[in-house]
Amino acid sequence: MTDQPRLGPIDHANTAQQARQTTQAGGRHTVDSITSDALDQLYAELEQLRLDQAGTDHVSAAWARKLREQQHRAEQAEAKLAAAREATDSVHRAMVHDPRDWGQYKRDAWTYGVIVGWGCEERHDHDDICGADDALKEITTRHRWLPEDVARLKTYRAAIAALDPQEPQP
């Protein structure tokens, strides 16, 4: 026999109550204080945490997959943008070096305005040396463009200019 006194039902109830209070107070169970119910509760909490983690892993994997898809789409868009940049740059160079009068015909003037631009696009105070928008005003008068046509031309020109990060933005 052991020297320890035998515990009765009241002693077991007190021990269980102490274990519950320790658990509720944030304490840890010990081997001699944990009950079967407390152990079952811990296993249930562990299972719930595992389920939560599995759900989180699933969501994280889905987000990672979406991120990879978006990166792929961005790379494709960048490649297409680079091709468009090269194409418009090629047309821009051809038009600038072509000796024809691009302002003579309405359609040519419009194309030149979109690809090259009729106004000064440098970022500085415009004066009589750069001409500012004098050429655009002359072309607008010559071809009787409406203010909304000029606004649309400027919008298109800004979009083309934005393709080339080296070119100043109007």
Please say if the pLDDT value at position 109 is more than 60.
yes
Residue range 12-21: average pLDDT? 61
Q: Which residue has the higher pLDDT, 113 or 122?
A: 113
Q: For residue 65, what pLDDT band results from cuts at 50, 70 and 90?
A: very high
Contact 96, 76 (CB under 8 A): no
Q: What is the pTM of this model?
A: 0.57
Q: For residue 156, what pLDDT band results from cuts at 50, 70 and 90?
A: very high
Q: Which residue has the higher pLDDT, 35 or 152?
A: 152
- Type of residue at 28: R
| φ, ψ of residue 163 in degrees (nearest 5) | -65, -30
| Helix or strand (DSSP H, E) at 133 | none
Q: Which residue has the higher pLDDT, 118 or 166?
A: 118
Please say if the pLDDT value at position 115 is more than 90.
yes
Residue range 64-91: average pLDDT? 94
Q: For residue 135, what pLDDT band results from cuts at 50, 70 and 90?
A: confident
Locate 29 and state its tokens.
Answer: 């169970």
Residue range 23-44: average pLDDT? 76
